[in-house]
Amino acid sequence: MISGFLDLKAVDTPISSTFDYVQGLFHKNDITGLDVCIRKQLIVTCSRDKTVNIWDYHNRNLEIQTLFPEECLAVAFHPSGLHLVVAMQDKIQMCNVLSKAIVSFKSHPIKACTEIKFSHGGEKFACVANQKDIHIYNFYTSDCPPTMMFVGHVQKVRCIDWFENDLGFTTCC
């Protein structure tokens, strides 16, 4: 009874498709990090090809592409869209987003950071250190007191999410 709705001849007909690129330049290697700015129409991506790209998702174009000296493992946008934190193999870089460039202004010796997440207000950011530990930094003073270093995961931390009021966070592995 269902065969009246199915045209078997159409199934055997080859379909020809043409695909066009939406964007121009993109990463040449695996994308390892992505974040969305909550106050601007921007997305940031980072890759093993040592580049960090900032995209305007409304106009669908690449705004800024910056080459770093090392592979980038993770990235996070400050809620204002004016700052980034980029993780590399042996450090995390705090950066300013200028009109046509990303400029580093501070680094911290955090090894193998694979996840970074800003709090909703942007005052703090959490990062994974040594794949299992969580460090909470104050973005404006750039410090991480010992009371803000958390251990306890037995496997690699894969996700960090801040509570809506920024008074805590959850992690999963």
Confidence of residue 11 (pLDDT cuts 50, 70, 90): low
Contact 106, 85 (CB under 8 A): no
The answer as to whether 17 is a domain residue is no
User: Does residue 73 fall inside a structural domain?
Assistant: yes
For residue 37, pLDDT beyond 90: yes
Structure confidence by residue, pLDDT tens digits, 161-173: 999 999 999 999 8
- Is residue 10 scored above 70 in pLDDT? no
Residue pLDDT, tens place only, 39-74: 999 999 999 999 999 999 999 899 999 999 999 999
What percent of the chain is modeled with pLDDT above 70? 86
Q: In this structure, what token pair is assigned to residue 19? A: 């695909």
164, part of any domain: yes
- Virtual CA dihedral for 75, 76, 78, 80, nearest 10 degrees? 90
pLDDT number for residue 109: 93
Assigned domain for 74 exists? yes
For residues 39 and 81, is the Cβ–Cβ distance under 8 A? yes
Look up the domain containing 33 and give its range.
25-172
Alpha-carbon gap, residue 123 to 135, rounded angstroms:
14
pLDDT of residue 5: 44
Asked, for residue 41, whether it belongs to a domain, the answer is yes
Q: Give a yes or no: residue 4 inside a domain.
A: no
CB of 166 closer than 8 Å to CB of 123: yes
How confident is the model over 95-101, as a mean pLDDT? 93
Neighbours of 112 (CB within 10 A): 15
Domain count, the chain: 1
pTM: 0.80
> At 46, which helix (H) or strand (E)?
strand 42-47
pLDDT score for 28: 80
Q: Is residue 19 situated within a structural domain?
A: no
**What SS3 class is residue 3?**
helix
Q: What is the structure's pLDDT at 92?
A: 94
Name the region of 126 (left: φ>0; alpha: ψ -120 to 50; beta: rest): beta
Three-state DSSP class for residue 50: coil
Query: At 66, which CATH number?
Result: 2.130.10.10
- The type of residue at 46 is C
pLDDT digits (tens, 9 = 90+) for 110-123: 988 999 999 999 99
